[in-house]
Structure 1
């Protein structure tokens, strides 16, 4: 098949005024001859700011809770005896997080388009099957990456460890996706009923609940399966086979659903590409941690906040395009609000870190100044890239709700880690290094 022809078939139609009308295709497919004249309800900057900032705080404290949970479970026997499980954690959390955030972005757009009122059951079935299909494959991919990273250094391959990792990752991804998918649907529906803009809160909530839920399930499932390691490979094998059956069944259901067909087609490349981009950030982090031990805990904060902010920006911009608004009409104000939130948001979390006596760095005035400069530059670059990327995808006929967020959050990890490393280098160079900075 000619690739250009098949791609052009998904291009959004253009009306006489030159505005895209992609959502009218969905209405035609589900049986409505003409979509309603949809306009997003106006919201004051003050209300939008409160909604976004509250969701950022929730996401941040969810990230802190996940970190505390990891600090506990890393001492469990399965983590100590099967070291690849620890390697699996960041890969699985990163990949799963992208699935939940793209789901949140899609559902927010559907809420504004009125699809929750007309086709809620179709949306629920399609999206639950879609993320189930994606999650099982993502879980297997994350397990393979962990197995490879664990095998390469010493060259030893253990079939029991391999089956344990694959089964734990696939089962965790499947359960977490089903639970979080239902939660995100509930969040968007309740937000709509309470006149809260889901674009402002859904993606950060997905990020905060996603890490905590996935890590808790992975730890519990891996521990249960570890009890059978060395005695039987039947249970892990059955779990993997069931996952292999789920993929085509759920994939076919999602393909037949008019709301999720395009997402099934477009969603794979961004998720895998995001993993590659994040791996580059991991290489930078590996180098900087060896030089400055105090950087690790701040890396979680700068990347977490930056990723959540750019996800909200992309979600709001995608909704504005789907609803036929000029993107500049609301995104300019969104960009300013998000930039204004960087300083208070970062201060809350770095002082929380200081209060908990985490990390190895004292919060001196010069440290806070340089750290804030790095955080502001990271968010500014991310928001600029987000605006360009979302509009570019829209013009190519791609749905930004399906594709933009994985790239942007991965770039957030890369930029945040690089800029934070530069900040610590500058601090070290100018002599603002207390006895524990860089030790």
Structure 2
């Protein structure tokens, strides 16, 4: 007798077959979707990358000038506040840029109402984070100053708080508006926002933030002796605005979630960056000019490049996979071959980003030399060591970014909000360690 099949089993096999065909079709769609040419990718990344590097170098030059001002000489903790504020601001801007880039590429802003709710919620959330983190940064610097000197005048504490919060608040507002304009403008021009938004967010961010910090600190210093109540009113004003930002940001579902869960990465990144700058300071006191210019260059370049890669991978996952679902071949971590020689769009972008390191750093080293009139020209050995350190830093960061973004996605966390702060903080730590090693090698062979 012919074998009579079970209808339930047949239906189950049919469903499995349909599921398999749908998955193969999905994989084919992902792999054969619209891609960017290498030339287009390089051009889109190169311009904001160079602008970001110029902004970082300009910030180093500005710091070299303003550190002789009265307030920097009288209150040395202002200098300790600088790297904490700069690192924190970069994280906030680039994280928001990555979120908005994903939303634009996923066509979640086609509706005018949804677009303005998304912009308003993200800007309000960023103002809230900037205010709170500015206050935390000033308190952390106060603690470090008290541990170093054994005392800390209350007037100095108030000035640090007023300067930190005022700087982060106004810089966050200005840079947030610029980032929103760049993202929607680039999309309208047919440019991938993932390639340009995060570097543009950091391009003149350091310069704007440092300029505001120097001006606010000097201005508040002039009020400190005769009109101290002005500083109290400034702090009170920003604290009163916190509930306003909470209400506005809670109007949008995505920013409402980040009100509770978005603090861990940026606070952790701020602490790591603070430790990195203190660690580097111990190695670089005898290399004053190198300390001012080269650490921001290596850390800024590394952070800018890896943020582009993280933003691109995150957008790719948002567009093609559900949270917790990973593409085939992305389950293993720390595989250089998989990161740089795979078969996806972000593998090609990793190669492009790594190739930009050497010419970019050579340009920035030459600019530093020209602007300083030849006084900061490093030796050939230091140039080789500096370029090797920068290349190694970006190589490791791109591998970690590939792993971290996919791990966050597998755990159901949005990489746009979590990955960039961790990656930029790790970039500061790696850049600091590698540059310190370069200084140590130069000192050991007497070629400083």
Shift of 1:69: 1.8
Shift of 1:323: 0.8
Is 2:392 aligned against 1:397? Answer: no
Give the Cα–Cα distance (whole angstroms) in 2 for the partners of residues 333 and 146 of structure 1. Answer: 42
Deviation string 1:7-58 (CA, Å, 9 cap, x unpaired) is xxxxxxxxx6798xxxxxxxxxxxxxxxxx9x97532111111111111100
What is residue 341 of structure 1 aligned with on the other side?
Answer: 356
What is residue 6 of structure 1 aligned with on the other side?
Answer: none
Give the Cα–Cα distance (whole angstroms) in 1 for the partners of residues 308 and 401 of structure 2. Answer: 10
Shift of 1:185: 0.3
Q: Which runs of structure 2 are paired with 1:270-419 in the superposition (5 Å)?
A: 270-290=265-285, 295-296=290-291, 297-324=293-320, 326=327, 329-357=344-372, 362-364=378-380, 366-419=381-434
Describe the shift of the 1:377–1:221 C-alpha distance in structure 2 as closer, same or farther (beyond 3 A). Answer: same
Describe the shift of the 1:289–1:344 C-alpha distance in structure 2 as closer, same or farther (beyond 3 A). Answer: same
What is residue 24 of structure 1 aligned with on the other side?
Answer: none
Is 2:50 aligned against 1:57? Answer: yes
Report the 3-state secondary structure (helix = DSSP H, G, I; strand = E; otherwise coil) of the residue aligned with 2:253: coil
Check whether the contact 1:293–1:360 (CA below 8 A) recurs between aligned residues: no
Give the Cα–Cα distance (whole angstroms) in 2 for the partners of residues 255 and 359 of structure 1. Answer: 52
Shift of 1:386: 0.6
Check whether the contact 2:84–2:273 (CA below 8 A) recurs between aligned residues: no
Runs of 5+ in structure 1 lacking a partner? 1-15, 20-36
What is residue 7 of structure 1 aligned with on the other side?
Answer: none
Shift of 1:66: 1.3
Shift of 1:293: 5.3
Deviation string 1:393-413 (CA, Å, 9 cap, x unpaired) is 111111111111111011111
Give the Cα–Cα distance (whole angstroms) in 1 for the partners of residues 267 and 171 of structure 2. Answer: 19
Runs of 5+ in structure 2 lacking a partner? 1-18, 24-29, 322-326, 331-342
Give the Cα–Cα distance (whole angstroms) in 2 for the partners of residues 359 and 389 of structure 1. Answer: 41
Describe the shift of the 1:293–1:401 C-alpha distance in structure 2 as closer, same or farther (beyond 3 A). Answer: same
Check whether the contact 2:283–2:440 (CA below 8 A) recurs between aligned residues: no
How many residues align structurally? 400
Which range is displaced more, 85-94 or 40-49? 40-49
Deviation string 1:358-407 (CA, Å, 9 cap, x unpaired) is 7755331x433333222211111000001111111111111111111111
Q: Which runs of structure 2 are paired with 1:161-310 in the superposition (5 Å)?
A: 161-290=156-285, 295-296=290-291, 297-310=293-306
TM-score, structure 2 as length reference: 0.83
TM-score, structure 1 as length reference: 0.85
Q: Alpha carbon RMSD of aligned pairs, Å?
A: 2.4
Q: Which runs of structure 2 are paired with 1:108-127 in the superposition (5 Å)?
A: 108-118=101-111, 119-127=114-122
